[in-house]
Amino acid sequence: MEEHDVNLDQILEGCRKNHRASQHQLFALFYNYAMTIARRYTGDTENAEEVVNDAFFKAFTKIHLYAGNQPFRFWLRRVVINTAIDRLRAGLQDMKVTELLPRHETESENGIVEDMTREQILSMTDRLPTAYRTVFNLFVVDGFSHEEIAATLGISIGTSKSNLARARQHLKTILANDLNYSGRI
């Protein structure tokens, strides 16, 4: 079932009235989309499924907050990301991170990652430590600023930049080992 094949407004109205059939339709319509997002953050399918279930529960209980001033998928995307981050937050607090000194480079030019398939990138990011993977996804994939990442994860801006730089370094190591690549990421 595709978004354009159904009357999404009608489904959302049914969800606002707690109609189970509408909730089931919305879940079926956006499940793959939500799984793709959750999978990026969790690193495995089992945890992603839990995040998606939790995210849809939150979406159904907070559907009245969706005002319709943006496409529903963008609102749901934020719910899924926040749910994944809530799940990862405890693990991130246990992760030892250090601030970068100003001389460290935290941004990089475009490189091989931009030319890779989604599956290749997902496979590589799955191998990153949770803190690095989360910041990498928020910054590179979802377009958050370091300020937004810091506020979302409850870390400093420097820690966000440090985790991004370390994620890129880890990815470079993975590429060097797997693909004999030595350029910039």
The tens digit of pLDDT for each residue in 26-36 reads 999 999 999 99
- Continuous segment of H or E residues that includes residue 173: helix 157-179
Structure tokens at 121: 């990138």
- 112-179 and 3-94 share a CATH fold: no
Range in 37-41, 53-57, 120-124 with the lowest mean pLDDT: 120-124
Domain map (residue ranges) of the chain: 3-94, 112-179
Q: How far apart are CA 7 and CA 159, in angstroms?
A: 44
Q: Measured between alpha carbons, how far is 115 from 138 in angstroms, rounded to an integer?
A: 19
Instruction: Give the pLDDT of residue 121.
Output: 73
**Token pair of 30 as six digits:** 């956006």
Q: Which amino acid is at 20?
A: R
pLDDT at residue 82 above 90?
A: yes
- Read off φ and ψ for residue 161, nearest 5 degrees: -65, -40
174/180 Cα distance (integer angstroms): 9
Q: What percent of the chain has pLDDT over 70?
A: 78
Q: What is the CATH number of domain 3-94?
A: 1.10.1740.10
What Å distances lie between residue 69 and 5, 34, 50, 58, 148, CA to CA?
21, 20, 28, 19, 21
Q: Provide mean pLDDT across the span 137-163.
A: 91
pLDDT of residue 90: 58
Record: fold of 112-179? Arc Repressor Mutant, subunit A (1.10.10)
Q: What was the pLDDT predicted at 145? A: 93
Closest CA to 76 of 113, 135, 29: 29
* Whole-number Å distance between alpha carbons of 53 and 56: 5
- pTM reported for the whole predicted model: 0.70
